[in-house]
Protein backbone atom coordinates (compact mmCIF):
# COMPACT_ATOMS: atom_id res chain seq x y z
CA UNK A 1 0.00 0.00 0.00
CA UNK A 2 1.38 3.46 -0.80
CA UNK A 3 1.31 6.35 1.64
CA UNK A 4 -1.71 8.08 0.23
CA UNK A 5 -3.73 4.88 0.59
CA UNK A 6 -2.62 4.64 4.22
CA UNK A 7 -3.60 8.25 4.80
CA UNK A 8 -7.04 7.68 3.29
CA UNK A 9 -7.46 4.60 5.45
CA UNK A 10 -6.47 6.53 8.59
CA UNK A 11 -8.95 9.29 7.84
CA UNK A 12 -11.71 6.75 7.28
CA UNK A 13 -11.01 4.83 10.47
CA UNK A 14 -10.69 8.03 12.51
CA UNK A 15 -14.03 9.38 11.27
CA UNK A 16 -12.35 12.33 9.59
CA UNK A 17 -13.74 11.45 6.17
CA UNK A 18 -16.87 12.99 4.69
CA UNK A 19 -19.15 10.48 2.96
CA UNK A 20 -21.26 11.35 -0.08
CA UNK A 21 -24.22 9.28 -1.25
CA UNK A 22 -25.66 9.96 -4.69
CA UNK A 23 -29.33 8.96 -4.99
CA UNK A 24 -31.39 9.01 -1.79
CA UNK A 25 -33.90 6.24 -2.43
CA UNK A 26 -34.48 2.81 -0.91
CA UNK A 27 -30.75 2.01 -1.13
CA UNK A 28 -28.99 5.35 -0.76
CA UNK A 29 -30.90 6.91 2.13
CA UNK A 30 -30.49 4.01 4.61
CA UNK A 31 -26.78 3.89 3.74
CA UNK A 32 -26.33 7.65 4.20
CA UNK A 33 -28.21 7.62 7.51
CA UNK A 34 -26.14 4.66 8.72
CA UNK A 35 -22.89 6.57 8.08
CA UNK A 36 -24.28 9.67 9.79
CA UNK A 37 -25.43 7.56 12.74
CA UNK A 38 -21.90 6.21 13.06
CA UNK A 39 -20.59 9.78 13.33
CA UNK A 40 -19.44 10.44 9.74
CA UNK A 41 -20.19 13.80 8.19
CA UNK A 42 -22.52 12.72 5.36
CA UNK A 43 -23.89 14.57 2.34
CA UNK A 44 -26.74 13.12 0.32
CA UNK A 45 -26.90 14.19 -3.35
CA UNK A 46 -30.29 13.95 -5.02
CA UNK A 47 -31.76 15.29 -8.27
CA UNK A 48 -35.26 15.33 -6.76
CA UNK A 49 -35.49 18.69 -4.97
CA UNK A 50 -38.67 17.60 -3.15
CA UNK A 51 -36.78 14.77 -1.42
CA UNK A 52 -33.92 17.14 -0.54
CA UNK A 53 -36.35 19.60 1.00
CA UNK A 54 -38.13 16.88 2.98
CA UNK A 55 -34.91 15.46 4.38
CA UNK A 56 -33.50 18.84 5.35
CA UNK A 57 -36.75 19.41 7.26
CA UNK A 58 -36.13 16.03 9.00
CA UNK A 59 -38.98 14.34 7.14
CA UNK A 60 -38.22 10.69 6.42
CA UNK A 61 -39.85 9.01 3.41
CA UNK A 62 -38.29 5.53 3.56
CA UNK A 63 -40.34 3.06 5.55
CA UNK A 64 -37.46 1.01 7.00
CA UNK A 65 -35.64 4.02 8.48
CA UNK A 66 -36.49 5.25 11.95
CA UNK A 67 -38.03 8.76 11.69
CA UNK A 68 -36.34 9.83 14.93
CA UNK A 69 -32.94 8.86 13.55
CA UNK A 70 -33.42 11.10 10.51
CA UNK A 71 -34.48 13.94 12.78
CA UNK A 72 -31.46 13.38 15.01
CA UNK A 73 -28.81 13.33 12.26
CA UNK A 74 -30.33 16.39 10.58
CA UNK A 75 -30.58 18.32 13.87
CA UNK A 76 -27.01 17.31 14.76
CA UNK A 77 -25.97 18.70 11.35
CA UNK A 78 -24.10 15.47 10.60
CA UNK A 79 -26.32 14.71 7.61
CA UNK A 80 -27.67 17.03 4.98
CA UNK A 81 -29.16 16.58 1.54
CA UNK A 82 -28.41 18.73 -1.48
CA UNK A 83 -28.98 19.14 -5.20
CA UNK A 84 -25.62 20.95 -5.48
CA UNK A 85 -23.22 18.44 -7.05
CA UNK A 86 -20.26 20.83 -6.79
CA UNK A 87 -20.16 19.74 -3.14
CA UNK A 88 -18.85 16.34 -4.30
CA UNK A 89 -15.41 17.95 -3.75
CA UNK A 90 -16.12 17.92 -0.02
CA UNK A 91 -16.41 14.13 0.03
CA UNK A 92 -13.68 11.55 0.62
CA UNK A 93 -15.85 8.54 -0.16
CA UNK A 94 -18.80 8.48 -2.57
CA UNK A 95 -21.47 5.85 -3.09
CA UNK A 96 -23.55 5.86 -6.29
CA UNK A 97 -27.05 4.51 -5.54
CA UNK A 98 -29.09 5.66 -8.55
CA UNK A 99 -31.81 3.67 -10.36
CA UNK A 100 -31.04 1.19 -13.14
CA UNK A 101 -34.39 0.67 -14.88
CA UNK A 102 -35.01 -0.81 -18.29
CA UNK A 103 -36.29 0.93 -21.41
CA UNK A 104 -39.80 0.16 -22.78
CA UNK A 105 -38.07 -2.47 -24.96
CA UNK A 106 -36.44 -3.98 -21.85
CA UNK A 107 -32.90 -2.93 -22.67
CA UNK A 108 -30.75 -1.62 -19.77
CA UNK A 109 -31.00 2.10 -19.05
CA UNK A 110 -27.79 3.14 -17.28
CA UNK A 111 -28.29 6.84 -18.02
CA UNK A 112 -28.67 7.61 -14.28
CA UNK A 113 -25.27 6.01 -13.60
CA UNK A 114 -23.71 7.95 -16.49
CA UNK A 115 -25.12 11.23 -15.20
CA UNK A 116 -23.89 10.53 -11.65
CA UNK A 117 -20.42 9.63 -12.98
CA UNK A 118 -20.34 12.86 -15.02
CA UNK A 119 -21.33 14.90 -11.96
CA UNK A 120 -18.51 13.27 -9.97
CA UNK A 121 -16.00 13.72 -12.79
CA UNK A 122 -16.72 17.44 -12.97
CA UNK A 123 -16.18 17.87 -9.23
CA UNK A 124 -13.44 15.43 -8.22
CA UNK A 125 -10.61 15.91 -5.80
CA UNK A 126 -7.50 13.78 -5.14
CA UNK A 127 -7.84 10.62 -3.06
CA UNK A 128 -11.58 9.98 -3.41
CA UNK A 129 -13.01 6.46 -3.23
CA UNK A 130 -16.01 5.93 -5.47
CA UNK A 131 -18.24 2.88 -5.06
CA UNK A 132 -20.98 2.06 -7.54
CA UNK A 133 -23.85 0.22 -5.83
CA UNK A 134 -26.57 0.28 -8.49
CA UNK A 135 -27.34 -3.18 -9.88
CA UNK A 136 -26.06 -3.41 -13.46
CA UNK A 137 -24.51 -5.64 -16.12
CA UNK A 138 -20.87 -6.81 -15.84
CA UNK A 139 -18.47 -4.26 -17.27
CA UNK A 140 -20.41 -1.11 -16.27
CA UNK A 141 -17.84 0.04 -13.70
CA UNK A 142 -14.79 -0.42 -15.89
CA UNK A 143 -16.18 0.26 -19.37
CA UNK A 144 -18.56 3.12 -18.60
CA UNK A 145 -17.87 4.73 -15.19
CA UNK A 146 -14.06 4.57 -15.19
CA UNK A 147 -13.51 6.42 -18.50
CA UNK A 148 -15.95 9.17 -17.44
CA UNK A 149 -14.11 9.65 -14.15
CA UNK A 150 -10.71 9.67 -15.90
CA UNK A 151 -11.98 12.44 -18.20
CA UNK A 152 -11.31 14.64 -15.16
CA UNK A 153 -7.61 14.15 -15.87
CA UNK A 154 -7.14 12.01 -12.77
CA UNK A 155 -6.02 8.37 -12.88
CA UNK A 156 -7.63 5.49 -11.05
CA UNK A 157 -5.25 3.83 -8.59
CA UNK A 158 -3.31 6.94 -7.62
CA UNK A 159 -5.56 9.97 -7.89
CA UNK A 160 -8.81 8.19 -7.05
CA UNK A 161 -10.11 4.68 -6.35
CA UNK A 162 -13.09 2.90 -7.89
CA UNK A 163 -15.03 -0.25 -6.98
CA UNK A 164 -18.36 -1.97 -7.45
CA UNK A 165 -20.24 -3.28 -4.44
CA UNK A 166 -23.77 -4.55 -4.98
CA UNK A 167 -26.56 -3.64 -2.60
CA UNK A 168 -28.34 -6.39 -0.69
CA UNK A 169 -30.96 -4.40 1.19
CA UNK A 170 -34.29 -6.21 1.48
CA UNK A 171 -36.94 -3.58 2.29
CA UNK A 172 -39.35 -4.81 4.94
CA UNK A 173 -36.89 -7.40 6.26
CA UNK A 174 -36.78 -6.98 10.04
CA UNK A 175 -33.71 -9.21 10.53
CA UNK A 176 -31.24 -8.48 7.73
CA UNK A 177 -30.38 -4.78 7.50
CA UNK A 178 -27.49 -2.60 6.29
CA UNK A 179 -25.33 -3.25 9.35
CA UNK A 180 -25.58 -7.05 9.50
CA UNK A 181 -25.80 -8.14 5.86
CA UNK A 182 -22.43 -9.16 4.33
CA UNK A 183 -21.33 -7.17 1.28
CA UNK A 184 -19.22 -8.08 -1.76
CA UNK A 185 -16.59 -5.59 -3.00
CA UNK A 186 -14.58 -5.69 -6.23
CA UNK A 187 -12.20 -2.85 -7.13
CA UNK A 188 -10.59 -1.80 -10.41
CA UNK A 189 -7.22 -2.47 -8.72
CA UNK A 190 -6.02 -3.85 -5.38
CA UNK A 191 -5.94 -0.49 -3.61
CA UNK A 192 -9.47 0.27 -4.79
CA UNK A 193 -10.73 -3.07 -3.43
CA UNK A 194 -8.92 -2.53 -0.14
CA UNK A 195 -10.16 1.03 0.38
CA UNK A 196 -13.71 0.22 -0.71
CA UNK A 197 -13.72 -2.72 1.72
CA UNK A 198 -12.52 -0.49 4.55
CA UNK A 199 -15.03 2.23 3.73
CA UNK A 200 -17.94 -0.19 3.48
CA UNK A 201 -16.71 -2.08 6.54
CA UNK A 202 -17.41 1.03 8.62
CA UNK A 203 -21.14 0.29 8.44
CA UNK A 204 -21.30 -3.38 7.40
CA UNK A 205 -20.20 -6.37 9.48
CA UNK A 206 -18.68 -8.70 6.90
CA UNK A 207 -16.97 -7.92 3.58
CA UNK A 208 -16.15 -10.43 0.85
CA UNK A 209 -13.48 -9.09 -1.50
CA UNK A 210 -13.49 -10.30 -5.10
CA UNK A 211 -10.85 -9.77 -7.74
CA UNK A 212 -12.68 -7.50 -10.21
CA UNK A 213 -15.73 -5.20 -10.40
CA UNK A 214 -17.21 -7.50 -13.07
CA UNK A 215 -17.26 -10.42 -10.63
CA UNK A 216 -19.14 -8.28 -8.12
CA UNK A 217 -21.52 -7.06 -10.85
CA UNK A 218 -22.16 -10.61 -12.09
CA UNK A 219 -22.50 -11.95 -8.54
CA UNK A 220 -25.41 -9.57 -7.93
CA UNK A 221 -27.14 -10.70 -11.12
CA UNK A 222 -26.63 -14.33 -10.07
CA UNK A 223 -28.31 -13.62 -6.70
CA UNK A 224 -31.35 -12.07 -8.32
CA UNK A 225 -31.59 -14.41 -11.30
CA UNK A 226 -31.37 -17.35 -8.87
CA UNK A 227 -34.57 -16.03 -7.31
CA UNK A 228 -36.22 -15.29 -10.65
CA UNK A 229 -35.56 -18.80 -12.00
CA UNK A 230 -36.71 -20.57 -8.84
CA UNK A 231 -39.86 -18.46 -8.56
CA UNK A 232 -40.58 -19.24 -12.24
CA UNK A 233 -40.20 -22.93 -11.49
CA UNK A 234 -42.87 -22.86 -8.76
CA UNK A 235 -45.07 -20.57 -10.83
CA UNK A 236 -45.01 -23.11 -13.65
CA UNK A 237 -45.68 -25.93 -11.20
CA UNK A 238 -48.55 -23.90 -9.70
CA UNK A 239 -50.21 -23.74 -13.12
CA UNK A 240 -49.72 -27.48 -13.59
CA UNK A 241 -51.10 -28.15 -10.10
CA UNK A 242 -54.14 -26.03 -11.00
CA UNK A 243 -54.76 -28.37 -13.95
CA UNK A 244 -54.36 -31.60 -12.02
CA UNK A 245 -55.83 -30.52 -8.68
CA UNK A 246 -52.79 -30.77 -6.41
CA UNK A 247 -52.01 -28.06 -3.84
CA UNK A 248 -48.58 -26.61 -4.80
CA UNK A 249 -48.24 -24.87 -1.41
CA UNK A 250 -48.50 -28.18 0.42
CA UNK A 251 -46.02 -29.67 -2.07
CA UNK A 252 -43.46 -26.91 -1.39
CA UNK A 253 -44.11 -27.20 2.33
CA UNK A 254 -43.45 -30.96 2.19
CA UNK A 255 -40.31 -30.56 0.05
CA UNK A 256 -39.02 -28.00 2.56
CA UNK A 257 -38.66 -30.71 5.20
CA UNK A 258 -35.57 -31.89 3.29
CA UNK A 259 -32.75 -30.36 5.35
CA UNK A 260 -30.27 -30.13 2.46
CA UNK A 261 -30.32 -29.40 -1.27
CA UNK A 262 -33.74 -27.69 -1.30
CA UNK A 263 -34.80 -24.12 -0.65
CA UNK A 264 -38.49 -23.14 -0.73
CA UNK A 265 -39.81 -20.60 -3.23
CA UNK A 266 -43.49 -19.79 -3.56
CA UNK A 267 -45.79 -19.01 -6.47
CA UNK A 268 -47.63 -15.71 -6.70
CA UNK A 269 -49.22 -13.14 -9.01
CA UNK A 270 -45.83 -12.20 -10.51
CA UNK A 271 -42.60 -10.46 -9.62
CA UNK A 272 -42.29 -6.74 -8.91
CA UNK A 273 -39.82 -4.30 -7.45
CA UNK A 274 -36.66 -2.85 -8.85
CA UNK A 275 -34.43 -5.95 -9.04
CA UNK A 276 -35.61 -9.48 -9.72
CA UNK A 277 -37.87 -8.47 -12.57
CA UNK A 278 -35.29 -6.27 -14.30
CA UNK A 279 -31.98 -8.05 -13.80
CA UNK A 280 -32.54 -11.00 -16.18
CA UNK A 281 -32.96 -8.44 -18.98
CA UNK A 282 -29.72 -6.68 -18.06
CA UNK A 283 -27.85 -9.97 -18.39
CA UNK A 284 -29.70 -11.01 -21.57
CA UNK A 285 -28.79 -7.70 -23.23
CA UNK A 286 -25.13 -8.07 -22.33
CA UNK A 287 -25.09 -11.73 -23.43
CA UNK A 288 -26.38 -10.76 -26.90
CA UNK A 289 -23.28 -8.60 -27.37
CA UNK A 290 -21.31 -11.84 -27.01
CA UNK A 291 -23.52 -13.83 -29.44
CA UNK A 292 -25.06 -15.69 -26.52
CA UNK A 293 -28.73 -16.15 -25.77
CA UNK A 294 -29.71 -16.68 -22.13
CA UNK A 295 -32.64 -18.93 -23.07
CA UNK A 296 -33.22 -20.46 -19.68
CA UNK A 297 -33.09 -17.14 -17.82
CA UNK A 298 -35.36 -15.41 -20.33
CA UNK A 299 -37.86 -18.26 -20.17
CA UNK A 300 -38.02 -17.81 -16.38
CA UNK A 301 -38.64 -14.08 -16.81
CA UNK A 302 -41.42 -14.80 -19.34
CA UNK A 303 -43.13 -17.29 -17.00
CA UNK A 304 -43.04 -14.78 -14.15
CA UNK A 305 -44.32 -11.96 -16.33
CA UNK A 306 -47.22 -14.11 -17.45
CA UNK A 307 -48.47 -14.57 -13.87
CA UNK A 308 -50.57 -11.36 -13.64
CA UNK A 309 -52.29 -12.44 -16.88
CA UNK A 310 -52.92 -15.86 -15.34
CA UNK A 311 -54.35 -14.31 -12.17
CA UNK A 312 -56.57 -12.02 -14.22
CA UNK A 313 -57.93 -15.02 -16.11
CA UNK A 314 -58.64 -16.73 -12.76
CA UNK A 315 -60.58 -13.62 -11.71
CA UNK A 316 -62.58 -13.49 -14.95
CA UNK A 317 -63.43 -17.18 -14.57
CA UNK A 318 -64.69 -16.66 -11.01
CA UNK A 319 -66.85 -13.73 -12.14
CA UNK A 320 -68.17 -15.79 -15.08
CA UNK A 321 -69.28 -18.50 -12.66
CA UNK A 322 -71.57 -15.95 -11.01
CA UNK A 323 -74.73 -14.67 -12.59
CA UNK A 324 -73.22 -11.31 -13.53
CA UNK A 325 -71.72 -9.66 -16.60
CA UNK A 326 -68.13 -8.37 -16.58
CA UNK A 327 -69.41 -4.85 -17.22
CA UNK A 328 -71.39 -4.92 -13.98
CA UNK A 329 -68.94 -6.90 -11.86
CA UNK A 330 -67.38 -5.28 -8.80
CA UNK A 331 -63.86 -6.38 -7.95
CA UNK A 332 -61.80 -5.53 -4.88
CA UNK A 333 -58.02 -5.94 -5.03
CA UNK A 334 -56.30 -6.38 -1.68
CA UNK A 335 -52.68 -5.24 -1.64
CA UNK A 336 -51.06 -3.06 -4.35
CA UNK A 337 -47.44 -3.06 -3.12
CA UNK A 338 -45.19 -5.51 -4.95
CA UNK A 339 -44.60 -7.51 -1.76
CA UNK A 340 -45.93 -7.78 1.75
CA UNK A 341 -45.54 -5.00 4.31
CA UNK A 342 -43.71 -2.55 2.01
CA UNK A 343 -44.82 0.72 0.41
CA UNK A 344 -43.09 0.06 -2.93
CA UNK A 345 -45.34 0.00 -6.01
CA UNK A 346 -42.61 -0.35 -8.66
CA UNK A 347 -43.57 -2.97 -11.29
CA UNK A 348 -46.14 -4.38 -8.88
CA UNK A 349 -47.98 -7.41 -10.29
CA UNK A 350 -51.10 -6.23 -8.43
CA UNK A 351 -51.07 -3.06 -10.52
CA UNK A 352 -50.76 -5.16 -13.66
CA UNK A 353 -53.75 -7.29 -12.59
CA UNK A 354 -55.74 -4.08 -12.03
CA UNK A 355 -54.72 -2.75 -15.47
CA UNK A 356 -55.77 -5.99 -17.16
CA UNK A 357 -59.14 -6.01 -15.39
CA UNK A 358 -59.68 -2.40 -16.41
CA UNK A 359 -58.81 -3.25 -20.02
CA UNK A 360 -61.46 -5.99 -19.89
CA UNK A 361 -64.05 -3.39 -18.83
CA UNK A 362 -64.79 -4.75 -15.39
CA UNK A 363 -67.58 -2.55 -13.99
CA UNK A 364 -65.90 -1.45 -10.75
CA UNK A 365 -62.33 -1.95 -9.62
CA UNK A 366 -61.43 -0.80 -6.11
CA UNK A 367 -58.40 -1.57 -4.06
CA UNK A 368 -57.26 -1.42 -0.48
CA UNK A 369 -53.64 -1.09 0.61
CA UNK A 370 -52.68 0.77 3.78
CA UNK A 371 -49.20 1.41 2.29
CA UNK A 372 -50.25 2.68 -1.15
CA UNK A 373 -52.70 5.60 -0.97
CA UNK A 374 -53.03 6.20 -4.73
CA UNK A 375 -52.41 4.46 -8.04
CA UNK A 376 -52.91 5.32 -11.70
CA UNK A 377 -54.44 2.89 -14.16
CA UNK A 378 -54.52 4.02 -17.78
CA UNK A 379 -54.31 7.69 -16.71
CA UNK A 380 -57.15 7.38 -14.20
CA UNK A 381 -56.31 7.96 -10.56
CA UNK A 382 -57.65 5.52 -7.97
CA UNK A 383 -57.49 6.01 -4.23
CA UNK A 384 -57.23 3.14 -1.79
CA UNK A 385 -60.42 2.44 0.17
CA UNK A 386 -59.91 4.00 3.60
CA UNK A 387 -60.60 0.63 5.21
CA UNK A 388 -62.19 -2.75 4.66
CA UNK A 389 -64.97 -4.01 6.87
CA UNK A 390 -67.62 -6.70 6.92
CA UNK A 391 -69.96 -4.11 5.41
CA UNK A 392 -67.96 -2.98 2.37
CA UNK A 393 -66.49 -6.43 1.59
CA UNK A 394 -70.02 -7.62 0.84
CA UNK A 395 -70.30 -5.04 -1.95
CA UNK A 396 -67.89 -6.91 -4.21
CA UNK A 397 -68.49 -9.91 -6.45
CA UNK A 398 -64.84 -10.88 -6.14
CA UNK A 399 -61.96 -10.11 -3.77
CA UNK A 400 -58.45 -10.80 -5.07
CA UNK A 401 -55.60 -11.06 -2.57
CA UNK A 402 -52.55 -9.90 -4.51
CA UNK A 403 -50.30 -8.84 -1.61
CA UNK A 404 -50.37 -10.68 1.70
CA UNK A 405 -49.84 -7.73 4.06
CA UNK A 406 -49.63 -8.80 7.70
CA UNK A 407 -52.12 -6.06 8.64
CA UNK A 408 -54.99 -7.70 6.74
CA UNK A 409 -57.59 -9.61 8.76
CA UNK A 410 -57.92 -12.71 6.56
CA UNK A 411 -60.60 -14.26 8.78
CA UNK A 412 -62.84 -11.23 8.23
CA UNK A 413 -61.94 -11.00 4.53
CA UNK A 414 -62.95 -14.60 3.82
CA UNK A 415 -66.02 -14.51 6.05
CA UNK A 416 -67.53 -11.45 4.40
CA UNK A 417 -66.34 -11.67 0.77
CA UNK A 418 -68.58 -13.39 -1.79
CA UNK A 419 -65.63 -15.05 -3.48
CA UNK A 420 -61.88 -14.79 -2.81
CA UNK A 421 -59.05 -15.44 -5.27
CA UNK A 422 -55.98 -15.96 -3.07
CA UNK A 423 -52.71 -15.66 -4.99
CA UNK A 424 -50.44 -15.82 -1.89
CA UNK A 425 -51.88 -18.59 0.26
CA UNK A 426 -52.70 -15.81 2.71
CA UNK A 427 -55.87 -17.62 3.81
CA UNK A 428 -54.07 -20.82 4.78
CA UNK A 429 -55.51 -20.73 8.31
CA UNK A 430 -59.13 -20.28 7.22
CA UNK A 431 -61.16 -23.42 7.90
CA UNK A 432 -64.22 -22.66 5.73
CA UNK A 433 -62.76 -22.70 2.22
CA UNK A 434 -66.03 -22.80 0.31
CA UNK A 435 -65.51 -19.30 -1.19
CA UNK A 436 -61.69 -19.41 -1.55
CA UNK A 437 -59.95 -20.16 -4.84
CA UNK A 438 -56.24 -20.60 -4.25
CA UNK A 439 -53.64 -20.16 -6.99
CA UNK A 440 -52.02 -23.55 -7.55
CA UNK A 441 -54.66 -25.71 -5.89
CA UNK A 442 -56.81 -26.69 -8.82
CA UNK A 443 -60.27 -25.59 -7.71
N1 LIG B 1 -34.67 -1.16 -3.62
C2 LIG B 1 -34.04 -2.30 -3.39
O3 LIG B 1 -34.52 -3.13 -2.63
C4 LIG B 1 -32.71 -2.62 -4.04
C5 LIG B 1 -31.98 -3.71 -3.56
C6 LIG B 1 -30.75 -4.00 -4.14
C7 LIG B 1 -30.28 -3.22 -5.19
N8 LIG B 1 -31.02 -2.16 -5.65
C9 LIG B 1 -30.47 -1.38 -6.73
O10 LIG B 1 -30.03 -0.13 -6.19
C11 LIG B 1 -30.22 0.92 -7.14
C12 LIG B 1 -31.06 2.03 -6.54
O13 LIG B 1 -32.34 1.49 -6.24
P14 LIG B 1 -33.37 2.23 -5.29
O15 LIG B 1 -34.42 1.21 -4.98
O16 LIG B 1 -32.68 2.92 -4.17
O17 LIG B 1 -33.94 3.33 -6.30
P18 LIG B 1 -34.85 4.59 -5.91
O19 LIG B 1 -35.57 4.96 -7.13
O20 LIG B 1 -35.59 4.31 -4.63
O21 LIG B 1 -33.78 5.71 -5.55
C22 LIG B 1 -32.90 6.24 -6.46
C23 LIG B 1 -32.79 7.74 -6.19
O24 LIG B 1 -31.76 8.28 -7.04
C25 LIG B 1 -32.18 9.55 -7.48
N26 LIG B 1 -31.38 9.87 -8.64
C27 LIG B 1 -31.51 9.45 -9.93
N28 LIG B 1 -30.49 9.92 -10.69
C29 LIG B 1 -29.71 10.65 -9.87
C30 LIG B 1 -28.52 11.39 -10.06
N31 LIG B 1 -27.90 11.41 -11.24
N32 LIG B 1 -28.00 12.05 -9.02
C33 LIG B 1 -28.60 12.01 -7.80
N34 LIG B 1 -29.73 11.32 -7.54
C35 LIG B 1 -30.27 10.64 -8.57
C36 LIG B 1 -33.66 9.40 -7.71
O37 LIG B 1 -34.31 10.64 -7.71
C38 LIG B 1 -34.05 8.52 -6.52
O39 LIG B 1 -34.39 9.29 -5.37
C40 LIG B 1 -30.82 0.25 -8.38
O41 LIG B 1 -29.79 -0.10 -9.25
C42 LIG B 1 -31.45 -1.00 -7.81
O43 LIG B 1 -31.56 -2.03 -8.77
C44 LIG B 1 -32.22 -1.85 -5.09
Q: How many CA atoms lie within 13 A of 30 on its CB side?
A: 20
Going from the Cα of 210 to the center of ligand 1, the distance in angstroms, rounded, reads: 24
Going from the Cα of 136 to the center of ligand 1, the distance in angstroms, rounded, reads: 12
For ligand 1, atom 10, the nearest C-alpha belongs to 134
Query: What mean pLDDT comes out for the span 205-212?
Result: 95
Going from the Cα of 408 to the center of ligand 1, the distance in angstroms, rounded, reads: 29
Of 148-157, 273-282, 310-319, the poorest mean pLDDT is in: 273-282
230-278 tens-digit pLDDT: 999 999 999 999 999 999 999 999 999 999 999 999 999 999 998 899 9
For ligand 1, atom 21, the nearest C-alpha belongs to 25
Return the ligand 1 atom nearest residue 27 CA: 16
pLDDT the model gives residue 66: 94
Going from the Cα of 291 to the center of ligand 1, the distance in angstroms, rounded, reads: 30
Return the ligand 1 atom nearest residue 26 CA: 16
pLDDT the model gives residue 127: 96
Q: Report the percent of the chain where pLDDT is more than 70.
A: 99
Question: Among 334, 324, 348, which Cα is nearest to 407's?
Answer: 334
Kindly give the pairing relationship between strand 183-187 and strand 160-164.
antiparallel
Question: Among 171, 203, 167, which Cα is nearest to 185's?
Answer: 167
Task: Choose one of 20, 21, 23, 44 to mutate for the ligand 1 pocket test, by most ligand atoms within 8 angstroms of C-beta.
Answer: 23
- Per the DSSP assignment, residues forming a β-bridge with 367 are 333
Task: Choose one of 22, 24, 26 to mutate for the ligand 1 pocket test, by most ligand atoms within 8 angstroms of C-beta.
Answer: 26
Query: What mean pLDDT comes out for the span 5-25?
Result: 96
Question: Among 202, 208, 117, which Cα is nearest to 160's?
Answer: 117
Query: What mean pLDDT comes out for the span 139-155?
Result: 98
Question: Among 137, 160, 136, which Cα is nearest to 148's?
Answer: 160
The contacts of residue 142 (CB under 8 Å, 6+ apart) are 188, 212, 213, 214
Phi and psi torsions of 65, nearest 5°: -95, 140
Domain boundaries of the chain, sorted by first residue: 3-211, 253-438
For ligand 1, atom 36, the nearest C-alpha belongs to 23
Helical H segments across 100-212, by residue range: 111-121, 146-150, 190-201
DSSP 279-348: HHHHHHHHHHHTT---HHHHHHHHHHHHHHHHHHHHHHHHHHTSS--GGG-EEEEE--SSSTT----TT-
For ligand 1, atom 18, the nearest C-alpha belongs to 25
Query: What mean pLDDT comes out for the span 73-100?
Result: 98
Going from the Cα of 264 to the center of ligand 1, the distance in angstroms, rounded, reads: 29
351-364 tens-digit pLDDT: 999 999 999 999 99
- Per the DSSP assignment, residues forming a β-bridge with 43 are 20, 80
pLDDT the model gives residue 2: 53
Rounded distance between C-alpha atoms, residue 237 and residue 246, angstroms: 10
User: Does position 72 have pLDDT exceeding 80, yes or no?
Assistant: yes
**Topology of domain 3-211, CATH:** Rossmann fold (3.40.50)
Q: How confident is the model at residue 174 (pLDDT cuts 50, 70, 90)?
A: confident
User: Does position 67 have pLDDT exceeding 70, yes or no?
Assistant: yes
Task: Choose one of 48, 98, 182, 338 to mutate for the ligand 1 pocket test, by most ligand atoms within 8 angstroms of C-beta.
Answer: 98
For ligand 1, atom 11, the nearest C-alpha belongs to 134
For ligand 1, atom 20, the nearest C-alpha belongs to 25
pLDDT the model gives residue 3: 55
Return the ligand 1 atom nearest residue 100 CA: 41
4 or 359: which leads in pLDDT: 359
Which residues have CB under 6 Å of ligand 1? 22-28, 45-48, 51, 97-100, 112, 115-116, 134-135, 167, 169, 171, 274-275
Distances in Å between the Cα of 170 and the Cα atoms of 34, 274, 355 are 15, 11, 27
Going from the Cα of 119 to the center of ligand 1, the distance in angstroms, rounded, reads: 16
List the catalytic residues: 275
Burial tier of 437 (Cβ tally within 10 Å: 0-12, 13-18, 19+) = buried
Class assignment of domain 253-438? alpha beta
| Average pLDDT value over all residues in the chain | 96
For ligand 1, atom 15, the nearest C-alpha belongs to 26
Contact predicate 124/160, CB 8 Å? yes
Burial tier of 430 (Cβ tally within 10 Å: 0-12, 13-18, 19+) = middle
Going from the Cα of 274 to the center of ligand 1, the distance in angstroms, rounded, reads: 9
Question: Among 308, 309, 283, which Cα is nearest to 296's?
Answer: 283
Of 117-131, 160-174, 398-412, the poorest mean pLDDT is in: 160-174
User: Does position 172 have pLDDT exceeding 90, yes or no?
Assistant: no
Question: Among 371, 385, 391, 398, which Cα is nearest to 313's?
Answer: 398
User: Does position 41 have pLDDT exceeding 90, yes or no?
Assistant: yes
253-438 and 3-211 share a CATH fold? yes
Amino acid sequence: MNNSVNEIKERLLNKKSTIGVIGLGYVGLPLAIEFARKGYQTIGFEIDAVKVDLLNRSVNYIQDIDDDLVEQVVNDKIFEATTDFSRIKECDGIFICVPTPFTPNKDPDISFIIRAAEDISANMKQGQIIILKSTTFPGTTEKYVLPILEKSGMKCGGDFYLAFSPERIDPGNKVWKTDNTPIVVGGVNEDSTELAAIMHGLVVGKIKKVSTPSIAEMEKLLENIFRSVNIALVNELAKLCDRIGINIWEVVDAASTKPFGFMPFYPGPGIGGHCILIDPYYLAWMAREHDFVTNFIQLAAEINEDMPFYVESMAIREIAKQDISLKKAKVLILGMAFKKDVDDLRHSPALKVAELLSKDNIGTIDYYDPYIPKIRIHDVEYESLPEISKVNLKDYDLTIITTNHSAFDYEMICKHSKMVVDTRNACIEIADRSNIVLLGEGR
